[in-house]
Amino acid sequence: MIIRMVGLLLVSVLSLAVTGCRETVSTAPEGQTLSPSAKLETVQMLLEDIEAPRHSADGGGRAWLDPAPELNVVGGRNHFSIHYEAGPEGVAEGGAVYFMPSPFWGWSPPQTRDPEASGFCRVSTEAEGIDLEVVGAGGQLLVATVTGRAMEPGERLLIEYGAGPAGVVVDRFAEHGERLWIAVDGDGDGVRKVLIDSPGVDIMAGAPARLHLALPGVVRPGETVGLTIAVVDALGNAGPPFEGEIVLECDVPLADLPTGAPLQADDLGRTRVEFTAPEAGVVRIRAQVGETMSAQSNPMRVAADGPRVFWADLHGHSGFSDGTGTPEDYFSYARDIAGLDIAALTDHDHWGVVFLDRSPEMWGAIGEQVEAFHEPGRFVTLLGYEWTSWLHGHRHVLYFDDEGEIFSSIDPRYDTPPELWQALRGLNVLTIAHHTAGGPIATNWDYEPDPELEPVTEVVSVHGSSEAEDSPQVIYSPVQGNFARDALERGYRLGFVGSGDSHDGHPGLAHLASGIGGVAGIMAEELTRESILEAIRRRRVFATNGPRILLQMAVDGRPMGSTVEPDSDGAMVFIGVSGTAPIERVDLVRSGTVVASSPGQGGLEVKLTLHLEDLAHGEFVYARVIQDDGGTAWSSPVFFQGP
Ligand SMILES: [Zn+2]
Ligand SMILES: [Zn+2]
């Protein structure tokens, strides 16, 4: 159910400044087609919000917590005392102070009706002559309107959130600096502005409940490789209180793999052990903690030649838009918990409480973390953002250099895909369309993806699969004819990646809490930005819905992503799979249809060869692997096209 909530909550998260509503746009701007699920009224709302005049008293004053709240554990109960002090211009009579805890992940909605129920709020002031009219304004919003007289500079009010015996329930995902937002309408015209430095609280993980092991994808014989070991809570939150011995074992003899990894309390439930890769074969490592937790790693293939495979999550959100936690939390989770090789944080350009395209400070802070975590050969980070167009569909923008600009989807200069691509042309940058078949908004495929800037598409994420109607876990609100397979049938040459689109602060492991997520396998030579960019441009990528299934696919020896000239003898397709669970079946999709479906015989490994006949120009083939546990992987297509 979390999956659906992401989409629904997206629409309710805005800190809208406008109370009144003008007539909404109901048609496409002239000469443009739109996404089949375009949200014109959302765009209208955003534009009105930008235009709404902010009085200099709006957003004035400061807020803080006192006393400091007790430790917050995910899903636990607590209470908060938030003090607000009016700024130099005070708050006019008829003005208001707004309070909004995060609309995400289960914070009790603030309310004033039932003192016994959770989320009960009491708002008071010692300033004589001021009467506060306090109402829940729907959703997570509480409004305290100042009546009687104006609030003078320096006068205070107190918001007790969780004033009743039930307190409030805090959110279910661990993070640092979760904001309890305060906004102020200082002049009383109904337009408010948020306090950028609204007080924040830390949310700690719950009890240790699961173990996660991550190995690299494909490595060379004899090289040193790292096993990332993490103990997380039931929803995948990092850093539960844990001390103990993790026992390691492997079927393949690994001379220097330690038999165990002791974890101390200050290891925060994570460690990394190194060992030497054997000469050949597929390695899976198992781990056990007493009787309580066990896990098996993803498969790691040792091969003397052929491309390496690096694991990436190229799309996700932090508390800087509508996700969870800080950018530092995000990259630390990607590297040290999920054990990814590559991660990009792609917060929304103009969606959330404070907008990234209006906040050079936030964009700078993301850049600093991207730089701090970037370590070629070990962990590659990318600077990025999400071009969150409610007219044409969402695309994330990934920079492969240290710096990049935000070309906002709400800026009339960049609000169509061709305008975005025009702005990006010539840079080391990629765009990736996502949740293309539905979800919060489907892609407008009338614009052909720019062949240089958009060589791949995201077929799966926490929102579901956009691959095809016959895919497992199809995205919610699907639009018929708008799947990735339909885009290929239009003649677009797109490779396939999966990404988390995580909002829970768990890049690489979004599927733990949501039942579906996404990662990308990237077939590159080196773990550097240059090599990764080159691999994606050549579509040497494959997608999974979370589990790190290794997938190979080649046509007449040419790897996935290639363009091959059709030949009258037909072609041989090779598919190789190393699964994370027993493989149920391997499908071969040729142009619009599944043309072969081979049972997996219940094993973790599959190798098969299929012959294709009567190939014509414009056809494409790709492989889809489905495991018993729902884990699914998609190869990029091979395209048949003459010179
Ligand atoms: Zn999106
Ligand atoms: Zn997103």
Q: How far is the CA of 5 from the centre of ligand 2 (A)?
A: 13
Q: What is the mean pLDDT of residues 320-330?
A: 96
Q: In what order do the strands lie in the sheet with 456-461?
A: 464-465, 456-461, 495-498
pLDDT surpasses 50 at 309: yes
pLDDT surpasses 60 at 8: no
Q: How far is the CA of 463 from the centre of ligand 1 (A)?
A: 9
Residue 138: pLDDT band (50, 70, 90) is: confident
Q: How far is the CA of 368 from the centre of ligand 1 (A)?
A: 23
Fold designation for 210-298: Immunoglobulin-like (2.60.40)
Q: What is the mean pLDDT of residues 84-110?
A: 96
Query: Which ligand is located closest to the Cα atom of residue 389?
Result: 1
Q: How far is the CA of 76 from the centre of ligand 1 (A)?
A: 30
Q: How far is the CA of 296 from the centre of ligand 2 (A)?
A: 29
3-state secondary structure 291-316: CCEEEECCCEEECCCCCEEEEEECCE
Fold agreement (2-17+52-204, 309-548): no
Task: Kindly report which listed range (30-34, 234-238, 322-326, 568-572) carries the lowest average pLDDT score.
Answer: 30-34
Q: How far is the CA of 27 from the centre of ligand 2 (A)?
A: 26
Residue 22: pLDDT band (50, 70, 90) is: very low
Q: What is the mean pLDDT of residues 367-384?
A: 98
Query: Which ligand is located closest to the Cα atom of residue 314?
Result: 2
Q: How far is the CA of 395 from the centre of ligand 1 (A)?
A: 7
pLDDT surpasses 60 at 3: no
Q: What is the mean pLDDT of residues 235-244?
A: 96
* Confidence at residue 60, expressed as pLDDT on a 0 to 100 scale: 97
Q: How far is the CA of 455 from the centre of ligand 2 (A)?
A: 18
Fold designation for 2-17+52-204: Immunoglobulin-like (2.60.40)
State whether CATH 2.60.40.1930 applies to domain 550-643. Answer: yes
pLDDT surpasses 70 at 360: yes
Q: How far is the CA of 516 from the centre of ligand 2 (A)?
A: 14
Whole-prediction pTM: 0.95
* Confidence at residue 643, expressed as pLDDT on a 0 to 100 scale: 65
Query: Which ligand is located closest to the Cα atom of residue 409?
Result: 1
Q: What is the mean pLDDT of residues 206-215?
A: 97
Q: How far is the CA of 463 from the centre of ligand 2 (A)?
A: 9
Q: How far is the CA of 277 from the centre of ligand 1 (A)?
A: 38
> How buried is residue 640: exposed, middle or buried, by Cβ count under 10 Å (0-12/13-18/19+)?
buried
Query: Which ligand is located closest to the Cα atom of residue 462?
Result: 2
Say how far apart CA 543 and CA 547 lie, in whole Å. Answer: 10
pLDDT surpasses 50 at 480: yes
Q: What is the mean pLDDT of residues 418-437?
A: 98
Q: Map out the domains of the chain as residue ranges.
A: 2-17+52-204, 210-298, 309-548, 550-643
pLDDT surpasses 50 at 414: yes
């142009």: which residue's tokens?
Answer: 591
Q: What is the mean pLDDT of residues 208-221?
A: 98
Q: How far is the CA of 245 from the centre of ligand 1 (A)?
A: 40
Q: How far is the CA of 295 from the centre of ligand 1 (A)?
A: 32
Distances in whole angstroms, Cα of residue 577 to Cα of each of 162, 300, 581, 626: 52, 11, 11, 10
Q: Give yes or no for a contact between 553 and 623, defined as CB atoms under 8 angstroms apart.
A: yes
Share of the chain above pLDDT 90, in %: 92
More confident residue, 20 or 619: 619
Q: How far is the CA of 500 from the centre of ligand 2 (A)?
A: 8
CATH of 309-548, one of 3.40.50.2300, 3.20.20.210, 3.20.20.140, 3.30.160.100: 3.20.20.140
Q: What is the mean pLDDT of the chain?
A: 94
Q: How far is the CA of 107 from the centre of ligand 1 (A)?
A: 23
The Cβ of residue 103 has, within 10 Å, a number of other Cβ atoms equal to 21
